[in-house]
Structure 1
Amino acid sequence: MTWEGWLTLAVVALVIGAMGSGRASPAGALFLGLVVLMSTASITGTEGLLTPAQAASGFGNTGLMTVGLLFVVAAGLTRTGAVASLVEPLLGRSRGLRSAQWRLLSPVAALSAFMNNTPIVALFLPVVNDLARRLGLPASRLYLPLSYAAILGGTCTLIGTSTNLIVNDLLRQTSETPALALFDLAWVGIPAVVVGLAYILLMTPWLLPDRREALAERRDPRRYTVEVEVAAGGPMVGRSIAQAGLRHLPDLFLAEIERDGHSIPAVSPDEVLQGGDRLVFVGVLESVVDLHKMRGLKPAAGAAERLKTPINERCLVEAVVSDACPLAGQSIRAGRFRERYQAAVIAVSRGGRQLSGKLGDVVLRPGDTLLLETHPSFVERQRDARDFHLVSGVNDSAPRQHHKARLSLLILAGMVGLAASPWISMLNAALVAAVLLTLTRCVDLGEAVRSVNWNVLLVIGAAIGLGQAMDNSGAAAVLGHQIIHLASDHPLIALAGIYLLTSITTEAITNNAAAVLIFPVAVAGAEALGVSPTPFVVAIMVAASAAFTTPIGYQTNLMVLGPGGYRFMDYVRFGLPLNLLVMVTALLIIPRVWPLH
């Protein structure tokens, strides 16, 4: 191997080490590797490393652009409440741990086959809270299974994970072998989902701990008093409190119902809701935000309805009333809060206790924390003003556009249908869906741009550049031949070696970076054996996604680390056997579907 190959291997090893140790961000480490290789090539005049054009080529990769567009599609589905409307009826009938897991994980796995895993897990985090509280279960036995189910479902289609798209696009560019179709991975993905979900259902009570005590200290001590009204003719009318999902919202207590001027305290879960009912809740911010998104409820007194800002441009903002606020000592209604600030008071927190009377009659005091529905510009306008302290926006608090849920689901179905057809590429189908979602205002253009996880795209683009350097320098070919040598020219053993190498690398760094770095090694190995690269590419796709053993192996694993109160060894204890089960399943199926000859 030439010095260019040794240098590339050394740089890649250092990049992987830096990411695995946590001392550098994935994007930072990968870009530093690109800088070293490009600079060396420029200084020495060597063409066997990496030219600037090759380093930048990854950012124009069609797979990368498809991933970015799928973030927009996921934002449109989330913004309209389409996903929640599909799964809420299933979750409402859960009775115990295994029942809750089955009703939670099966729709998650199905949805993640067609949506990016990250927004799906983010969408279901509050659902896990709700299930755990309502059934008296430890949330730690639901959060990690949630992440694992999303990962498993993503192995079923090309659009299930960004990794599949990127690797398939690399296959199309570097080989004469036909690229995979949308549902080809289902041959491996569906059996992996069945095996994985069975393992989760059987082994959770034995291998996942109860972390309720570790999470008790993290609860938000603030309690808001919030009023909502049951919309006349809406889906809540005629349903009981329990059927509407209002009885056991996490850390949210239904204090009373006001109906036709009469108050109903100590509300029974069998109480049937009527149009115009005013419901008074006391609870934490996160649950108040979830309540704000529920279909069939609206802020009481109609203050939010009279805001000039269109509903699709609003968000929730927290603000603490200061001593200098001109409305201190006046009620919200008498002080004409909405007209003065172009913001509607949704809830008030004062010392964690319930406030009596209607929300509009609450007399504001310095130190009161207000939850406001308003335009995002309110934060900038009031941040340096004297009326409020600690003005800050609430993440993911835009009101859901439930009336467009069906439309967004139709657009998703159309995207899947177009992608599965032989006439339109996945990129084209995703672009059509993203444009339709923005044109129909299912998601605002600014929100669509903000929904894109640019860090993920930067990691993918930089990793493609390093993968190109591995190919240019001959390092990939040398590694491929070494794996073949160790496998004694046996294709099945070589396939297992590629799978294992990808899996180990993925657990140390990100799945996208690992897949792109191992791809040229796998192709070189297939060429040395004189076999099709397709089974090796499928092995990379599955191994790079099936990362269950560490929190850093997959982004969704990291997302549930804090909420679940997990420790590193929880991932090893529960995830390592699942890694091995999926690996065995994949290695048994791949050679039969894509023969090694």
Structure 2
Amino acid sequence: MRISQRCKLDTSLDWTAYVSMAVVLSVLTGLILTRIAPDAILMAALTALVITGILTPAEALQGFANPGVMTIATLYVVAAGLKETGAVQWIAHRLLGQPRSLQRAQLRLLIPASVLSAFMNNTTVVAMFIPAVQEWAHRLRFPPSKLLLPLSYAAILGGTCTLIGTSTNLVINGLLQSQMGISLGMFDIAWVGVPVLLAGGTFLLLFANRLLPQRESVIEQVEHAREYSVEVVVEPNGPLIGKTIQEAGLRHMQHGYLAEIQRGERLLTAVSPQTELMAGDILGFIGAPECARELRGVHGVRPANGDVRKLNIAHHRRCLVEAVIGPDFAGLGQTIRESRFRTRFQAVILSISREGRRLPGKLGDIQLRVGDTLLLETDHDFVEQYRYRKDFLLVSALNDSTPPNFKKAPLALVILAAMVGLSAFSILSILEAAFLAAGTMLATRCITVSKARRYIDLQVLVVIAASFALGAAMTKSGAAQAIAELMTSNVTSPWLALAMVYFVTVLFTELITNNAAAVLMFPIAVEVAEQLNVNIMPFAIAIMIAASASFITPLGYQTNLMVYGPGGYRMKDYVANGLPVSLLVGGAALCFIPTVWSFGGY
């Protein structure tokens, strides 16, 4: 009887439902299989829904007025104030300490990373921790590969502990407010988030040391992290001609070593310290990125890359920069020559590191991939110009940019604590508390207006707001109801339905953006709850947790991709560590959610 009813409903669906599902499938295909920017894909879908008449313009643009979206935008400014004042580094340096074992080091890293991610954007937390962890690991003689992936996972898990911990939580809360009149408090989700964090964190402490890669000895792993090959040429008529390697001061470099000399058609390897230098010799050095900076101080050599001389930048304005290629980089899959990198970015690639290892061969013939770490020579303004864009995940100058204003770090932390307190005790709503905190950050000069404006990620905001239109179309057309009936056709247990919603959301999150996955699943979850005549809240909380539980691939969550290059990871490392973490987190969430939010009522 139930199946026949469902079949009758399916045949009664009008064209709007089929068009809505076709638009959603097109969005999923575009996000998974193409490199088109997610905001462009979502806005094209929104346009299609308006032009076909499925949604009115007001319905399609409703997401841009959602409180959750505005809260996310405001919190970008709060996080920017914490970053610019160095508040995160201020906390990290006091908590990381000098542990004597790798497990203790992981514990000291997991605690501050997860706690900070509960109250600020986890991408910002990870971006600030990566260089600190690399330096810390080098000092302690621990491999960074044992610490950076746990850092990303801890940031993700920490974000599930509060309503402001991740944008997904705010998005789902915004949908609950607008559609159900339900508003969650700051720490309501902690009843599930904290057990999930403890479960995932305990697994990392017990098993990450065994599962994470250590492909070389501890010291070698550290020394070869972000290893580059840098070539310089001996200048004709320069002061080094006729001098030996030893006399030229090139024997005992602090950050690298001379691996070979290209002399005409001959390649000299295992070079003796007594080898005399000749005009035009191309010296190949291998070492850390600082090796290139060290060679800049040697009089009589210049970069062997001819493109460096073509840079339209005064010599005193040049600097060395490291940049990690992101998924939105326009030249992915192209060689450096085909991508016209120098013309596009006014920067020259000196060397490339992939998975922690230098790439040999001619630079111009190397195809660029997501996660490649580039050593660039460019203008001082490059860091500020591209730090906030999507071409690169991380951009940092080797001689570092303006240091944070640590004097205002305590003030920024007080502002954050006040925001959390005002919201937690229901004195102000989360949006009002965020507005007040952001305004105070600007008024006290923890961050300037111009910098705050750059920190606001418009692409993320557009993706989230446009995703609301997809959810609205699925609901209005009846497509969400049809899919929910299909999911529950042979399911009578709300526990089983909850598990289905959770794991479908996890699958979507690994394939597309976490916020888009959450918004697409929400109307389906609402219909599933109505079909089973149970409370919507367990399903809403499940989507919150599942949309953040991206551990299996580097592409599912931005923090996973950020540590990909610096940690020298490969895809199998994410699967080996992320799959058990994902299953453990899912099991813990599905056990705790119905005990806090019963299926019977809110």
The TM-score normalised by the length of structure 1 is 0.71
2:319–2:380 Cα contact (<8 Å) kept: no
User: Per the alignment, do residues 217 and 149 of structure 1 end up closer, same or farther by CA in structure 2, a change over 3 Å counting?
Assistant: closer
Please state if 1:27 is matched with 2:39. Answer: yes
- Quick one: which of 52, 67, 76 aligns to 2:72? 67
SS at match of 2:380: strand
Q: Which runs of 5+ in 2 are unaligned?
A: 1-12, 232-253, 257-286, 301-313, 321-345, 347-376, 384-394
Residue 353 of structure 2 aligns with which residue? none
Residue 378 of structure 1 aligns with which residue? none
Please state if 1:392 is matched with 2:380. Answer: yes
Distance 1:286 1:68 in 2: 37
User: Per the alignment, do residues 455 and 251 of structure 1 end up closer, same or farther by CA in structure 2, a change over 3 Å counting?
Assistant: farther
User: Per the alignment, do residues 251 and 480 of structure 1 end up closer, same or farther by CA in structure 2, a change over 3 Å counting?
Assistant: farther
1:152–1:196 Cα contact (<8 Å) kept: yes
1:350–1:369 Cα contact (<8 Å) kept: no
Q: Which runs of 5+ in 1 are unaligned?
A: 42-48, 224-249, 253-282, 289-317, 319-346, 354-365, 373-382, 384-388
- Quick one: which of 313, 332, 350 aligns to 2:297? 350
Please state if 1:542 is matched with 2:554. Answer: no
Deviation at 1:370, TM superposition (A): 6.0
Distance 2:162 2:215 in 1: 34
- Quick one: which of 485, 500, 503 aligns to 2:489? 485
Deviation at 1:174, TM superposition (A): 0.7
User: Per the alignment, do residues 286 and 455 of structure 1 end up closer, same or farther by CA in structure 2, a change over 3 Å counting?
Assistant: farther
Please state if 1:452 is matched with 2:464. Answer: no
SS at match of 1:564: coil
- Quick one: which of 117, 120, 123 aligns to 1:115? 120
Residue 476 of structure 2 aligns with which residue? 472
1:117–1:161 Cα contact (<8 Å) kept: yes
1:349–1:370 Cα contact (<8 Å) kept: no
SS at match of 1:486: coil
Please state if 1:9 is matched with 2:21. Answer: yes
Map residues 256-275 of structure 1 onto 2, 5 A cutoff.
Answer: none
Deviation at 1:4, TM superposition (A): 1.2
1:350–1:368 Cα contact (<8 Å) kept: no
Deviation at 1:164, TM superposition (A): 0.1
Choose 67-76 or 418-427, whichever is displaced more.
Answer: 418-427
Distance 1:132 1:403 in 2: 27
Residue 424 of structure 1 aligns with which residue? 428
Residue 54 of structure 1 aligns with which residue? 59
User: Per the alignment, do residues 163 and 203 of structure 1 end up closer, same or farther by CA in structure 2, a change over 3 Å counting?
Assistant: same
Deviation at 1:569, TM superposition (A): 2.1
Distance 1:465 1:208 in 2: 41
Deviations 1:555-575 (A, max 9, x none): 111111121222222211110
Residue 260 of structure 2 aligns with which residue? none
User: Per the alignment, do residues 82 and 218 of structure 1 end up closer, same or farther by CA in structure 2, a change over 3 Å counting?
Assistant: closer
Deviation at 1:221, TM superposition (A): 6.9
Residue 583 of structure 1 aligns with which residue? 586
SS at match of 1:562: coil
Please state if 1:461 is matched with 2:408. Answer: no
User: Per the alignment, do residues 410 and 516 of structure 1 end up closer, same or farther by CA in structure 2, a change over 3 Å counting?
Assistant: same
- Quick one: which of 402, 412, 415 aligns to 2:416? 412
- Quick one: which of 40, 45, 52 aligns to 1:40? 52
Distance 2:221 2:20 in 1: 44
Distance 1:222 1:418 in 2: 53
2:75–2:120 Cα contact (<8 Å) kept: yes
Distance 1:156 1:447 in 2: 28
Deviations 1:38-96 (A, max 9, x none): 2222xxxxxxx222222221122111111111111111111111121112122122222
Deviation at 1:28, TM superposition (A): 2.3
SS at match of 1:130: helix
Map residues 61-460 of structure 1 onto 2, 5 A cutoff.
Answer: 61-176=66-181, 178-210=182-214, 216=224, 218-219=226-227, 349-351=296-298, 390-393=378-381, 394=383, 397-460=401-464
1:348–1:369 Cα contact (<8 Å) kept: no
Distance 1:447 1:181 in 2: 30
Distance 2:290 2:82 in 1: 20
Map residues 516-527 of structure 1 onto 2, 5 A cutoff.
Answer: 516-527=519-530
Distance 1:22 1:508 in 2: 12
SS at match of 2:55: coil
User: Per the alignment, do residues 217 and 585 of structure 1 end up closer, same or farther by CA in structure 2, a change over 3 Å counting?
Assistant: closer
Deviations 1:394-436 (A, max 9, x none): 3562321111111111100100011112231111100100000
> Once superposed, what is the RMSD of the aligned Cα atoms?
2.9
Distance 2:462 2:560 in 1: 20
User: Per the alignment, do residues 113 and 195 of structure 1 end up closer, same or farther by CA in structure 2, a change over 3 Å counting?
Assistant: same
Residue 283 of structure 2 aligns with which residue? none
Deviations 1:363-390 (A, max 9, x none): xxx9677669xxxxxxxxxx9xxxxx94
Distance 1:423 1:471 in 2: 34
Distance 2:144 2:38 in 1: 29
Distance 1:218 1:450 in 2: 28
Deviations 1:471-490 (A, max 9, x none): 11111111122222232x21
User: Per the alignment, do residues 352 and 547 of structure 1 end up closer, same or farther by CA in structure 2, a change over 3 Å counting?
Assistant: farther
Which amino acid is 1:436 matched to? T
Residue 257 of structure 1 aligns with which residue? none
Distance 1:287 1:139 in 2: 19
Deviations 1:222-262 (A, max 9, x none): 89xxxxxxxxxxxxxxxxxxxxxxxxxx969xxxxxxxxxx
Distance 2:65 2:132 in 1: 37
User: Per the alignment, do residues 90 and 174 of structure 1 end up closer, same or farther by CA in structure 2, a change over 3 Å counting?
Assistant: same
User: Per the alignment, do residues 442 and 367 of structure 1 end up closer, same or farther by CA in structure 2, a change over 3 Å counting?
Assistant: closer
